[in-house]
Structure 1
Amino acid sequence: QQLGTIEASLKSNSVDAFRNDGEHHYSIKEIKPESQIPALFDKEILISLSDSDHDVTQIQNSFLSIVLTANVQFDNKFDDYEEAYKDGTVLFIGLKSASQVIREYTIYHRGRTIEGTLQNDSTTEQFIQNTVKPRSEKNNRNHIHSLYENTHKYDTSACGPYLTMKNIENAIRDQLSVPYSMPIRFRLSIPLGDILVFSGFTDYPNSLFGDLKIQFKINPNAFVFPQVNPIISMAKY
C-alpha cells in the first residue's frame, strides 16, 4: 500500500485525530507479515503489532484492519420472490463485533509466548467482554460493532456488507448447481483493546511493548445473517 492509503486508513479509524504539530508526532512504517497473506480461514496468521523503531504510546487506540473475502452460499434462486420487493429486501452479513472473527490467538513478546495468552476460544471471550463494554464505545468508529439499531440504519459502525435480494439474484442467476455462490468482500476493524489480553496493557510502561506479535485464526462460524427491517429498507430503496 502507498503511505497515503495507510495514513487515510489510520485517520478514519482513530479516536483522536493524528497530527504532527511540534508537540505531537507520528510516523508510518509498513511491516511485512510473517505468514502468507491472503490466508485461508483455517491457516494461522502471524503479524507484528509493534516495531523497535516506534514507541507505542496509545495501544488503546490501536487496531487491526482486516479485509475478508468469502463466498456466501444459497440453495435457491428466489425465482418466486416478487420483483417489486427485490431491491428493498436486504440481508446483512457480518459480525456482532469485529473482534469475534478471531477464533484463537497467541501473543508473542520478543519471540516468547506471553504467559496466559494462548486462547483457543477467542470468539466466546470477545462476546463476554463486549457484553460489559460501555455502549458509547460500540458505535463511534467504522466497521467495529454491529448494534441492532445501527444495522437497520445502515450505519458505518456495522461490520459487514448489505446485500439486496436483487444483488443476490444477479450474482447467482447463471449458476446451474446447488449451492449457488456469491462472493463478498468487506473490511473489519478490531481495536486491540477489544482483545481481552490487551485491555490492561495501558497499565504498563511503553518499554514492554517492543516487538509484539499476534498469531491468530479466523472463525468462519462467527458470522450473523439478519434481514434488515423491511420497512426501513423499502424506504431506503
Structure 2
Amino acid sequence: MAARLNPLTALTAAAAVLVITTAASSWAVSLTVAVGAVLLAAAAGIVRRVLLAAAVIVVPFWLSLLVIHGLFFPEGRTALASWGPARVTAEGLTFALEMGLRTAAFVLVLMVFSFSVRIPELVAALTARRVPPQVGYVLASTLLLAPLVAARLDKVRQAQESRGLVVGRGIGSRLAAIRLQMVPLVLGLVHDAGIRAQSLDARGFRSTGPRTSFTQVRDSAAQATFRVFAILLALAAVGWRIAESLPAGSLSAWFLSGAGGG
C-alpha cells in the first residue's frame, strides 16, 4: 500500500503519528495507533514480519518496565502486593502499561514504514528535494540494517554448521552457538562497511554539484497537501501539549502582557 505512495508521504505520516502520540500521552491513543498499524500491516500483507520484528524489541522492553515500574515505582501509593522492598502498586502498573503501549505504537508504526517503503525510491525522493546525500544514506542504512544483519547471520550459521557445529535444543548450547557466531558476524559487518565506503567514494558520494537519479518517484498535489496538513497537525499537537503543561492563567497573562507592551 505504501508502495503506491511517495516515500516522503509515508515518512511524513509516520513521523506525524509518532509526534501526535507522544503529545497525547494517552494509553487510548497509543492503543488506537498500535491497532491501526497492525491493520495497515495486514492490508499490506506484511503483518507477520511486522509482529515478529516488533516482538523482538517490545517484549524485553515490557518486561523491564514491569520489573522497574511495576515493583519499584516511587510514586506508588496503592499497594497490591509486597515482598520486602518490592511493591506492586496500581500506579506503577498503570505507568508501565502506558509506557509499554506507547513504545509498542512507536515500534509498530516504524516497522510498518520500514517493511513497506522502497529504499531506492526513498533515496531518490530525498535527492530530488536536495536533501544532503549523507542524510539519505544514513536513513537507508538504518532501514536496511536489520535485513543485512539477518542475512549475514544466516550465512555464518550455515558456514559453521557445514564445518560440524551442532546446535542443541538446550539454552546452554544455543548461547554457546550465539557466542561463536557473534565474532564472524561483527567482523563481516565491519569488512562490508569498509567496502561500502570505498564504493561510495568511487561513485563521488561526497562530491558537490547537481545529482541525477535513474529512479523516478511519483508525486501528486494531493500528497503534497497531505504532507503539509500532517506537519501542521503535528505542530498543533505539540503546541497543545506545551500549553496544557503551563500553569493555569500563565498563557492568558502572557498574551495580556504582550498586548500591553505593544
Report the TM-score, using the length of structure 2 for normalisation: 0.23
Higher helix share: 2
Larger Rg: 2
Which fold has the larger relative contact order, with Cα–Cα distance below 8 Å and residues 6 or more apart in sequence? Answer: 1
Higher strand share: 1
